[in-house]
Amino acid sequence: MISEEKLRILTESAKYDVSCSSSGSKRANEGGTGNGYAAGCCHSFTPDGRCISLLKILLSNDCIFSCKYCMSRADADVPRVTATPDEICELVMDFYKRNYIEGLFLSSAVVKSPDYAMEQLLCTVKKLRTEHGFFGYIHVKGIPHADEGLVRETALYADRMSFNIELPSEKSLKLLAPQKSKESLLVPMQKLQRDRTVFKEEKRKGHFLPAGQTTQMIVGASPEPDGLILRLTQSLYRKTGLKRVYYSSYVPLVHNSLLPDVPAGERREHRLYQADWLLRFYGFSAEEIVEDDGNLSLELDPKCNWALRNLQYFPVEVNRAPLEMLLRVPGIGARSAYKIAEARRYATLTFEDLKKMRVVLKRARHFITADGQFMGERRETAIRGLLAAGETAEEARQLSMFSDLETARSALTGEL
Amino acid sequence: MIYFYDGSREAFLTAFVLAFRDPGAVLTSGSAQLAVGQETCFVQTDANRAKKAEQRLISFDKNCMHDLNTILKSGDANRDMVAFNYLHLVAEKGMPVRSMLAEQAVIAADECMRRVKLEIHRMHGFVRFMESASGALYAPISPDNDIAEDLLPHFRARLKNFPFVIHDVGRGKAAVYDGEHTFTAPLKEAEVVLSADEGAWQSLWRKYYESVNIPSRERLRQMRAYMPVRYRKFMPEFN
């Protein structure tokens, strides 16, 4: 059994990675323990409001790289520990059968060399799958500059892999993570994506990253504007076929003249996620949301902002507007849009009906008519004032975004 | 009239037939406040009538019995009327009504079913097994809705090689997988002898839980919204 102290160190060095999802894989239990759960499953929640789904842990924090922002960088004075693949396997199996976790999220510092670190990761997941008969979810972090063959073999055992882009521009990467290059991150992602497509097309036996790839970037450690971050995100979705891009607002753990001493606002991170949802589920493009060199408004959410810039499209009649347009109405999320589209087949909907159906009208009323009736403001400045005032009054609520059941659920499904 | 029935599906369907044309019908399987002079009826299950009602309802909507089962599992005191009004509307319209989302009866049924399903989904994550000396797993739960049985398929699929018992402590029933079959049985109290390592694994899990938190980002309201306090009773990380 791994010691509590080792577990603590390896967990604390892994916890700033934000990816937590266990969704997207339907791997079946072929006679052992565990299976995939396509919708994903949260097993616990910590006081910081984040969920515990996977056992998020490093195999080692003993790093030869010196990324300026990282607490495990080579020149940092921290205790170094390395777990054995067997220790990790045992931990996963015993946590999993008690239903503490949905699977493993395994990462590692670059211990000894990129190839050695990757080899250790591969060895661990291979053992889990073959010796322990584990069929639960496994997410493995790719090590930049590691051998291509090792990366590809790991993909045969993992449900998901991710290479972290870390910083949104090459310049910042050079400055803050000098041993990582843009190519060492993007090329393996593209190769994996190609291999995954071939694997699927040829209908080969077994699995190759059934839950795809994700990545993560740190926001606020370097000067890139939101416009650039979102354009990069969009190209990762469209060209590299990533499932998700995570943003991690910068927390100063390290003092360095190249890094800001203040944490990036969590509001900014929140706005980026809202914009990310608009890209993935609401049919928006990055260009519509924010100009290339601009930042998202902290005051209003990106959908409201877009609508206020495009008032010529509004108000729309909820009984006739196509679903794509309903999705663009501020305050109407995917669930509400779907409910409206269903209900209006049987009856003409009024504001009274919308209220009964729990469609939130606080923002939407300025942008819709229901059975010809309009209940909002028409002037942009007036709407802006009302909406912004509403946001400040609800500051606390906004910051802990999901304070009631309804919003908590919508956060799970990603409505906005 | 108030119709008392025993909470079973057959009795419900019998009551449904009896109350169908009564505009002031109140169905209940629990207790009800009686107004002075209010008439009451204690429904005797009539298998024949129930069967006929079921067939008729299925001819309108082949999935409505599934909805009924879900609603009757709800812990909501109002569940009987929610089910009654919903099936009444199915019978009135003579077709599936689940997409008529502006109808009060559908909104109530939809909400009720969503709560049951949400709790099943949540419990897939929140159940905590303990390992007994024999190797079998034991998990006490106390859910809002009567869902112990609905947890069986999920855990059976992933824990094929581990017999387990999920014990709804409040309702005094257990959902059991004996390594081969699943079934439910009444169970008031259980005495479990834990394996030698159980305490150490729980303690390791607490250590993990504590280490993975980022203390500078406290979001207790958000945490509560995702995981209401009542679910934490049987989780080692909170005890």
Predicted confidence (pLDDT) per residue in A274-283, tens digit = 999 999 999 9
Residue ranges of chain A assigned to CATH 3.20.20: 4-212
Q: Which residue has the tokens 């569940």?
A: B79
Do both B166 and B193 map to the same domain?
yes
In this predicted structure, what is the pLDDT of residue B64? 97
% of chain B surpassing 70 pLDDT: 98
**Mean pLDDT, to the nearest integer, of A339-351?**
96
**Are B226 and A91 within 8 A, CB to CB?**
no
For residues A161 and A195, the answer to whether their CB atoms sit within 8 Å is no
Do both B54 and B114 map to the same domain?
yes
Between residues A407 and B6, the one the model is more confident about: B6
In this predicted structure, what is the pLDDT of residue A392? 55
Which residue of B208, B218, B231 to mutate against A (max A Cβ within 10 Å)? B208
- Cβ neighbours of B227 in A, within 8 Å: 44-45
**Are B125 and A41 within 8 A, CB to CB?**
yes
In this predicted structure, what is the pLDDT of residue A391? 64
Do both B87 and B132 map to the same domain?
no
Task: Say if residue A6's pLDDT is above 80.
Answer: yes
Do both B135 and B225 map to the same domain?
yes
**Mean pLDDT, to the nearest integer, of B189-203?**
96
In this predicted structure, what is the pLDDT of residue A181? 92
Residue A412: pLDDT band (50, 70, 90) is: very low
**Mean pLDDT, to the nearest integer, of B103-127?**
97
Task: Say if residue A389's pLDDT is above 80.
Answer: no
* Lowest-pLDDT range of A45-49, A208-212, A387-391, B197-201: A387-391
Do both B29 and B92 map to the same domain?
yes
**Mean pLDDT, to the nearest integer, of A190-218?**
94
**Mean pLDDT, to the nearest integer, of A318-338?**
96
Comparing CA positions, the residue from A398, A386, A325 lying closest to residue A361 is A386
Q: Which residue has the tokens 């510092």?
A: A109
* Residue B223 exposure: Cα atoms within 13 Å on the Cβ side: 17
Task: Say if residue A388's pLDDT is above 70.
Answer: yes
- Cβ neighbours of B161 in A, within 8 Å: 32-33
A4-212 CATH fold: TIM Barrel (3.20.20)
For residues B148 and B174, the answer to whether their CB atoms sit within 8 Å is yes
Query: CA-to-CA distance for A151 and A149, rounded, in angstroms?
Result: 5
Do both B81 and B11 map to the same domain?
yes
DSSP state letter for B216: G
Report how far apart, in Å, the C-alpha atoms of A132 and of each of A30, A89, A198, B179 are.
Answer: 12, 8, 29, 19
In this predicted structure, what is the pLDDT of residue A416? 40
Do both B9 and B58 map to the same domain?
yes
In the predicted model, what is the mean pLDDT of chain A? 91
Task: Say if residue A251's pLDDT is above 90.
Answer: no
For residues B73 and B147, the answer to whether their CB atoms sit within 8 Å is yes
Residue A121: pLDDT band (50, 70, 90) is: very high
% of chain A surpassing 70 pLDDT: 94
For residues A293 and A304, the answer to whether their CB atoms sit within 8 Å is no
Query: CA-to-CA distance for A98 and B138, rounded, in angstroms?
Result: 9
Task: Say if residue A395's pLDDT is above 60.
Answer: no
In this predicted structure, what is the pLDDT of residue B38? 79
For residues A196 and A208, the answer to whether their CB atoms sit within 8 Å is yes
**Mean pLDDT, to the nearest integer, of B179-198?**
96
pLDDT of A122-173, one tens digit each? 999 999 999 999 999 999 999 999 999 999 999 999 999 999 999 999 999 9
Q: Which of B119, B135, B158 is the last residue of a domain?
A: B119
| Structural domain of B33 | 2-119
Count how many residues are written for chain B: 239
**Are A8 and B211 within 8 A, CB to CB?**
yes
Pairing outcome for strands B137-141 and A213-219: unpaired
Task: Say if residue B164's pLDDT is above 70.
Answer: yes
**Mean pLDDT, to the nearest integer, of A102-124?**
97
Interface contacts A/B by beta carbons within 8 Å: 166
**What is the count of structural domains for chain B?**
2
Query: CA-to-CA distance for B95 and B12, rounded, in angstroms?
Result: 20
**Are A47 and B127 within 8 A, CB to CB?**
no
Do both B47 and B134 map to the same domain?
no
Do both B177 and B226 map to the same domain?
yes
In the predicted model, what is the mean pLDDT of chain B? 95
In single-letter form, the type of residue at position A307 comes to A
First CA to last CA across chain A, in angstroms?
44
Partner-chain residue, chosen from A45, A53, A343, that has the shortest CB–CB distance to B227: A45
Q: Which of B87, B119, B151 is the last residue of a domain?
A: B119
The three-point CA angle A355-A359-A360 to 5° equals 95
Between residues B228 and A404, the one the model is more confident about: B228
* Residue A295 exposure: Cα atoms within 13 Å on the Cβ side: 13
Tokens coding A197: 């497509």
Q: φ, ψ for residue B165 (rounded to 5)?
A: -130, 125
- Cβ neighbours of A56 in B, within 8 Å: 212
Q: φ, ψ for residue A55 (rounded to 5)?
A: -75, 105
Task: Say if residue B60's pLDDT is above 60.
Answer: yes
Do both B111 and B139 map to the same domain?
no
Do both B57 and B140 map to the same domain?
no
Task: Say if residue B233's pLDDT is above 90.
Answer: yes
Do both B159 and B64 map to the same domain?
no
In this predicted structure, what is the pLDDT of residue B39? 86
- Cβ neighbours of A342 in B, within 8 Å: 99, 101
Q: Which of B119, B139, B171 is the last residue of a domain?
A: B119
Q: If you measure CA to CA, which chain B residue comes closest to A43?
A: B125
ipTM of the complex: 0.94
Between residues A408 and B160, the one the model is more confident about: B160
* Lowest-pLDDT range of A72-81, A158-167, A251-260: A251-260
In the three-class reduction of DSSP (H, G, I as helix; E, B as strand; rest coil), residue B14 is classed as helix
First CA to last CA across chain B, in angstroms?
48
Task: Say if residue A404's pLDDT is above 60.
Answer: no
**Mean pLDDT, to the nearest integer, of B152-171?**
97
Residues 6+ apart with CB under 8 A from B212: A11, A12, A14, A15, A46, A52, A56
Contacts 24+ apart (CB under 8 A), A337-340: A339/B101
Task: Say if residue A414's pLDDT is above 60.
Answer: no
Residue B78: pLDDT band (50, 70, 90) is: very high
In this predicted structure, what is the pLDDT of residue A153? 97
DSSP state letter for B144: S
For residues A121 and A74, the answer to whether their CB atoms sit within 8 Å is no
